[in-house]
Chains A and B, each alone.
Chain A
Amino acid sequence: MRDRFIKTLCSLAENDPRIMLITGDLGFAVLDEYRRRFPLQFINAGVAEQNMTLVATGMALEGHIVFTYSIGNFPTLRCLEMIRNDAAYHGANVKVVSIGGGFSYGPLGISHHATEDLAIMRSLPDVTCVSPTGLQEVEEATRAIASHPGTCFLRLDKDPGVDGPTRSEFLLGRPRVVRQGRDVAFIVTGGILSEVVKAAGELERQGVSSSIYAVHTLKPFDPTEIIAASKTHGAVVTVEEHTVHGGLAGLILESLADAQALPGKFLRIGLESCFSSVVGSQGFLRTAYRMDAAAIAARTTKLLGS
């Protein structure tokens, strides 16, 4: 996802001198092409994420479209107040990009696990929150937030996710149907869509028909399709590589509850409220925390049989 983002940003920067990329001293080798081609549209702010965000706000207020770039929680939680008070309150064109959603940097330890960022960022007013579920969506999302006024958060995953072959037009806030079924509706954000697609295949072999909705934008959010899905499926399962508190699960439950459309059965798959001190790759940790394809299928089967 990271490489697709950079490639898209290069294409945007080429046509729009307002585009600026500020990194918090991360992106070794990855940013080389961008730096070489657009030296006047690139700044390394050093290991100083608070200032990176403040400088981005100042430049945005002067007319730039500024992407701040770092990994894990560094561009978000580390400088949360700067995003809130400075960027968002001023409607500044600051696009906060975090490489490494969830367990992307699993073996590096909990400092590098971005497992609460969606919940926190989506609680901020006037911050658009985007978490693509496939590479095509990374490109679409990058273009969309560049032209969308105001502060945005783009959460990118190590897992490239899945590009659906029959995807509809990308619209910020509008979920996409990846697969249409009958018995259970999966609602997913981020690259972990790849696990859900596998789980759906496994369930199909067991005779369970499932729908999959890819939620690439958590804020703003148009709940129309999800509400309809809840009514037609009877069972809803949210899947996110993130805490089950306040992120995608929170969004969906809020939306369904507001519409008096809670399904008969509901399951939140994600990280229970805990820090992972287990060392492991993204795949290993998904298995350890019961959110890989096999666990999703098994837990869904159990839900449906309960």
Chain B
Amino acid sequence: MTLSTQQLVELSRRIRIHVLRMTSRGGSAHVGAGFSIADILATLYGNVMRHDPKNPRWADRDRFVLSKGHAGAAVYATLAEVGYFPTEQLQLHYQDGSIFSGHVSHKGVAGVELSTGSLGHGLGVGVGMAKALKLAGKAARVFVLLSDGECDEGSIWEAALFARHHELDNLVALVDYNKIQSLAPVAETLGLEPFRAKWESFGWSACEVNGHDHLDLQRALAAMPVHQGRPSVAIAHTTKGKGVSFMENTVLWHYRTARGDEFDRALAELERS
């Protein structure tokens, strides 16, 4: 799949509209987290990863792990948009009896590699996948999308140590650095800065990108691995709630569900964009 920048913008917009509808219908949280990663997901599935929606278990596919499982709605929306299953199924998100849980789940959902929801798990599993792919001599890469707050977890740094030690240059971590976590800004909770230097001090090749600029993302991800024998991390500067003016950069929209007038205004903004 190779999409033009305009097509990526359109895909991202559709992902956001799905996420808005899904979270509103289900009364679920994390709309802001979904908006934050929509452009990253569009770029990965649109232009970066080797994958085949008609053959989700293709042995040579690139693997994608959403470690910040609370943004699962955005992954379901992306998978549906690129052809893993019909977009109509997204209506089942967060509904009684559905397989589309609030935190991403793989059971019965084509294209989801790993169920997550408790933070700090995805990178380690991605590391294991990358190690196995290396041993098997496969060229496939493993992409793991983390949240910034998730980097409070010690297990992330255990995985970071392991990945460098084992020279997993087929591993790419992306951090959705929107700088807002559950209760307050990251800087007021457990500051991560100097964030890039932390990754580099763990032996990773690190770069910083605009997480809403498809070209910037594409350029950075296409260039990875930057250094042979080193895992790569792209620290994506993002805006929580990106795409809806009153949701942007607020802690509130980590949890709040858009309903009534708020839903209408949000949808109108996304449809205009």
Cα A82 to Cα B159 with chains together (Å): 13
**A55, A61, A89 pick with most chain B CB within 10 angstroms:** A55
Cα A43 to Cα B134 with chains together (Å): 14
Among A51, A63, A82, A85, contact of B127 (Cβ-Cβ < 8 Å): A51
**Residue B154, interface by CB 8 Å:** yes
Chain B interface main SS type:
helix
Whether the pair A86, B121 counts as a contact (CB closer than 8 A) is yes
Whether the pair B131, A59 counts as a contact (CB closer than 8 A) is yes
Q: Which residue of chain B is the closest to A41 with respect to CB atoms?
A: B135
Task: Find chain B residues with CB under 8 A from A46 CB.
Answer: 158, 161-162, 165
Q: Which residue of chain B is the closest to A79 with respect to CB atoms?
A: B155
Cα A212 to Cα B120 with chains together (Å): 45
Task: Find chain A residues with CB under 8 A from B243 CB.
Answer: none
Cα A58 to Cα B129 with chains together (Å): 4
Task: Find chain A residues with CB under 8 A from B130 CB.
Answer: 58
Among B113, B116, B129, B162, contact of A51 (Cβ-Cβ < 8 Å): B162
Task: Find chain B residues with CB under 8 A from A62 CB.
Answer: 128-129, 132-133, 136
Whether the pair A54, B161 counts as a contact (CB closer than 8 A) is no
Interface residues, chain A, CB within 8 Å of chain B?
Answer: 40, 43, 45-46, 48, 50-51, 53-64, 81-82, 85-86, 89-90
29 contacting pairs across A/B (C-beta < 8 A): A46-B158, A48-B162, A51-B124, A51-B155, A51-B158, A51-B162, A55-B128, A55-B162, A57-B125, A58-B124, A58-B126, A58-B128, A58-B129, A58-B130, A59-B128, A59-B131, A60-B128, A61-B128, A61-B129, A61-B132, A62-B128, A62-B132, A64-B132, A82-B155, A85-B117, A85-B118, A86-B114, A90-B114, A90-B115
Interface residues, chain B, CB within 8 Å of chain A?
Answer: 106, 113-118, 120-121, 123-133, 135-136, 154-155, 158-159, 161-162, 165-166
Additional A-B contact list (10), CB under 8 Å, known A51-B124, A64-B132: A54-B127, A55-B162, A58-B125, A58-B128, A58-B130, A59-B129, A59-B132, A61-B128, A61-B132, A63-B132
